[in-house]
Amino acid sequence: MLSDVAQGKEVLTVNIRYKEPDGYRSKFDAFAVEDDGNSFRQASEDFRFASAVALFGMLLKESPYAGTADWDDVLNIAADAIGTDEDGYRAEFIELVRQASAATDQLAAAVREAGETLSNLLQYDKHLTDDPNITFTFFAANNSGYTFTTQHAKSKKVFLFKD
C-alpha cells in the first residue's frame, strides 16, 4: 500500500537557500512541485525549450539518460517552443543544434569511409597486424555506432562514434 505522500501529486520539493544582496543572513524557502497531469506539449514554451537544451547536453555527453533521443528530437522540441524570440537566442541555439547534427553526420561518414579503407588494407596486408611496433587502427560497425581501435605495442585505445 502506498503512503499518503506517494499517493499525492507532489513530485519533488525544491529547497532554496539564498541571501539578499545586502543581507547578512541566509534565507531558506521550499517549494513543492506537483504533477498537474498535463502532457509535455501542454507545458510552457520556456519549459519545453529548456528541455530541448538539456537534451542537447545529454546527446553531446552521450548520456544514457538521453534514451533513444536524437538531434531531430532536439530540433523539433526547440522549434516548437521557440515562442517570441526577441533577442534571437533561441534561433541561434537551433542553428547550433543543426551544426552539431551536421558535424556528427560528417564525422560518422568519415569514420565509416576510413574504417572501410583500413579494413580493406588490413585484409591485404595481414602482416601489419603481427608487428607490435606498428600502430594500426581497425574499424567495426555495430548496433551502437562505429568503433576505431588504435593499437601500438601493448597499448590500446578504443573510440566509439555513434551514427
* pTM higher than the cut 0.95: no
Task: State the cell numbers at 125.
Answer: 596486408
Domain ranges of the chain: 4-161
In this predicted model, what pLDDT tens digit does every residue of 146-163 receive, in sequence order? Answer: 555 554 445 544 555 554
Instruction: Characterize the bridge pairing of strands 155-161 and 145-152.
Output: antiparallel
Task: State the cell numbers at 4.
Answer: 499518503
In this predicted model, what pLDDT tens digit does every residue of 96-110 receive, in sequence order? Answer: 999 888 887 777 677
